[in-house]
Amino acid sequence: MKVDVLLGLQWGDEGKGKIVDVLTPNYDVITRFQGGPNAGHTLEFNGEKYVLRSIPSGIFQGGKVNVIGNGVVIDPLLFKLEAEALAASGHDLTKRLLISKKAHLILPTHRMLDAANEAAKGDSKIGTTGKGIGPTYTDKVSRNGVRVGDILENFEEKYAKAKGKHETMLKALNYDYDITELEKEWMEGIEFLKKFTFIDSEHQINNYLKEEKSVLAEGAQGTMLDIDFGSYPFVTSSNTVCAGACTGLGIAPNKIGDVYGIFKAYCTRVGSGPFPTELFDETGEKMCDIGHEFGSVTGRRRRCGWIDLVALKYAIMVNGVTQLIMMKSDVLDTFDTIKACIAYDIDGKETEEFPFEINDNVKPVYVDLPGWQTDMTKMQSENEFPEEFNQYVSFLEDQLQTPIKIVSVGPDRDQTIIRYTEED
Ligand code: GDP
Ligand code: IMO
Ligand code: MG
C-alpha cells in the first residue's frame, strides 16, 4: 500500500480538516506530518463544530488509528487542552492516538522567542501565530531540540539545557517575560503526554503499509507557506509540500500514492506577506463576510482575493497533485462575475510562471467568468450544478490540467459532492 497525502495549495485554511474527516472512512490510519498548533482545522457534523490543532482530523470517524509523525512540533500544554476538550465531548483518544518519539517539543521559551523575534522585526514582522513554531524548528535544525522521546530519560536535564540557551537569547533581545505559571502548566502537559503511546513512527507506518493498511497523511498550512517554496520569508518553518510527508513520517518517495491538492474557489491569507490577488474593496469584504474568513485559532481576519492560477499551477507542480478538491464554492454563490488570475504582469511582462519572489511589481492578469447566482449549499450531486458553475470547474481543470474530484458547498461534512468521471 501507499500513503495518500492531502495538502493545502494556497496560504492555509483551505478546509483540510473537513476533507480529511470526509475521507477518513476510506483509510485505516490518519497521520499529521508537519506543523503544530499553528494549524486550526475545523470540522462540522451533526450540528457540532470542532477545531483541531495538533491532533489529526481522523479521530471522529469510527476507531481509526491516528498518528502524530516525527515532522510535527508539539506543545504539551496546548495538546493537553485539545485532548481534554475532546475527551469531555466523548472522544477519548488515549488508546488510538500514537505519537512519534522523534517529534520535537515546543518549550514555553520557544513561545517567548517567537514573540521576541516578531517584536524585533517591527513593521516587517511575519504575523506568526505566536505558538513558537519558528524557534522550535530552528532548534531542531541547529541540533538543540528536545524531542518527545527525551521525556522518557533525563528529561529535566535536557529541558534545563535548552531553556538556558533560550534565556540567553531572550536577554540579548531585551525581551521581558515571566513564564512561571506557563512553565508549571507546561510541565503538567508533559505528565499528560505520558498517557499516550510514544512510537518509532517510521517503523510503525512502514509496517502498516506492509500489512496492506491504507494511510492518509494530513498536511497543515499550505504550499504558499512552505519554507522552501512559499512566499519566503513570510512562511511557516516546515515543509508543507508533499515531500514533507516523506521526511515527516519516514516513508520513501515511492511510497506516496495519491496527492489531493485542496484549494478555495477564491483565495485567503492570514498574517503578513505578499498576496497578488488580494482585494481591498467591497468585493473582498463580501468574500470575508460570507466565507466567515476569521482564523480558526487566532480569530484574525483573513485577507481575501480572487483565485490565483499562477500560484496554484506552481503548487500542483511542486506537490505532484493527482486530484483537486475545491472548497467554499458556495461563498461565490451571489457574485455576478468571478475573476481568475491567469498570469502575472511583472514590470510590463506577462508570465504564467511563478517568479522567485512576489512583490509589489507583480500585478494579476484576470479573466472574467460569469457567476452562477444560485444557492449551492443544499446540493447533493453534481447533476444539480448550475451551468455557470460547471463552466468555472471546466475552466479551472483546463488551466490546471488536473481533475477536480470533490466540490465542497458548505462547512458541514454532508455538504460535500464527489464528482464522477468515466474512469470511476
Ligand atoms: P483548514 O485549516 O485547512 O482545516 O481550514 P480551516 O478550518 O482553518 O478554515 C476553513 C473554514 O471554512 C472553516 O471554518 C470551515 O468550517 C469552513 N468551510 C470548509 N469548507 C467549507 C465550504 O465548502 N463552504 C463554507 N462556506 N465553509 C467551509
Ligand atoms: P492551517 O493548517 C493559515 C501563517 C501565519 C503566518 C505564517 C507563519 O490551519 O491551514 P507560524 O506561526 O507558522 O510561524 O506563522 O504562517 N500560518 C497559517 N495561516 N493557516 C495555517 O494553518 C497557518 N499556520 C501558520 O499566519 O503568516
Ligand atoms: Mg486553518
For the cut 90, the answer to whether the pLDDT of residue 296 exceeds it is no
Pocket test for ligand 2, best of 10, 42, 78, 129 (most atoms within 8 A of CB): 129
User: In 3-state terms, what secondary structure has residue 334?
Assistant: coil
pLDDT band at 152 (very low <50, low <70, confident <90, very high): very high
Nearest to 349 by CA among 358, 340, 367, 362: 362
Alpha helix stretches (DSSP H) within 173-273? 180-193, 201-210, 243-249
pLDDT of residue 232: 97
- Which residue has the CA at smallest separation from atom 28 of ligand 1? 411
Region 4-21: mean pLDDT is 98
Q: What whole-number distance in Å separates Cα of residue 4 and Cα of residue 218?
A: 9
Residue 126 cell numbers, joined: 511575519
Q: What's the pLDDT band for 226 if we cut at 50, 70, 90?
A: very high
What does the alpha-carbon distance between residue 5 and residue 243 come to, in Å, rounded to a whole number? 10
Mutation test residue for ligand 1: of 328, 334, 380, the one with most atoms within 8 Å of CB: 328
Report the alpha-carbon distance of residue 340 to residue 326 in Å, rounded. Answer: 14
Mind listing the pLDDT tens digit for each residue in 363-416?
A: 999 999 999 999 999 999 999 999 999 999 999 999 999 999 999 999 999 999
Give me the mean pLDDT over the 141-167 stretch.
Answer: 98
**pLDDT higher than 70, residue 156:** yes
Task: In whole angstroms, give the CA distance from residue 132 to residue 239.
Answer: 16
User: Is residue 264 pLDDT above 90, yes or no?
Assistant: yes
pLDDT at 213 exceeding the cut of 70: yes
Q: Which pLDDT band, with edges at 50, 70 and 90, does 60 fall under?
A: very high
pLDDT at 423 over 80: no
Chain mean pLDDT for the chain: 97
pLDDT at 297: 79
Sign of CA dihedral 374, 376, 380, 383: positive
424 pLDDT more than 70: no
Query: Which pLDDT band holds residue 11 (cuts at 50, 70, 90)?
Result: very high
In short, whether 408's Cβ falls inside 6 Å of ligand 1 is yes
Cα(115)–Cα(106) distance, integer angstroms: 14
pTM above 0.85, yes or no: yes
DSSP for residue 25: G
Give residue 414's pLDDT.
97
What local confidence, expressed as pLDDT, does residue 422 receive?
A: 64
On whether the CB atoms of residues 261 and 14 are closer than 8 A, the answer is no
Q: Write out the residues surrounding ion ligand 3, Cβ under 5 A.
A: 13, 40, 296
Identify the burial level of 281 via C-beta atoms within 10 angstroms of its C-beta, where 0-12 means exposed, 13-18 middle and 19 or more buried: exposed
287-296: long-range contacts, CB 8 A cutoff, minimum separation 24: 287/331, 287/332, 290/331, 290/333, 290/334, 291/264, 291/266, 291/328, 291/331, 293/268, 295/13, 295/40, 295/270, 296/13, 296/40, 296/41, 296/42, 296/51
Name the residue at shortest CA distance from atom 13 of ligand 1.
42
Alpha-carbon gap, residue 147 to 137, rounded angstroms: 11
Mean pLDDT along residues 140-155: 97
User: Which ligand has an atom closest to residue 225 CA?
Assistant: 2
**Beta strand 97-100 with 65-68: parallel, antiparallel or unpaired?**
parallel
| Nearest protein Cα to ligand 1, atom 27 | 411
Strand partners, 66: 30, 97
Asked if 234 contacts 273 with a C-beta cutoff of 8 angstroms, the reply is: yes
Tell how far CA 423 is from the center of its chain.
30
Q: Cα-Cα-Cα-Cα dihedral of 201, 207, 209, 212, to 10°?
A: -140
Does residue 350 have a pLDDT over 90? Answer: yes
Q: Is the pLDDT score of 336 beyond 70? A: yes
**Helix/strand/coil for 387:** helix
C-alpha–C-alpha distance, residues 97 and 87, integer Å: 12
Confidence band (pLDDT; 50, 70, 90) for 68? Answer: very high
| DSSP strand pairing (303-305 vs 267-269) | antiparallel
pLDDT tens, residue by residue, 189-203: 999 999 999 999 999
- Determine the atom of ligand 2 nearest the C-alpha atom of 273: 27
Q: Provide the pLDDT confidence category of residue 420 given band limits of 50, 70 and 90.
A: confident
Averaged over 20-48, what is the pLDDT? 97
Tell me the pLDDT band of 62, cut-offs 50, 70 and 90.
confident
Stronger pLDDT, 320 or 423, i.e. the higher one: 320
User: What 3-state class would DSSP assign to 406?
Assistant: strand
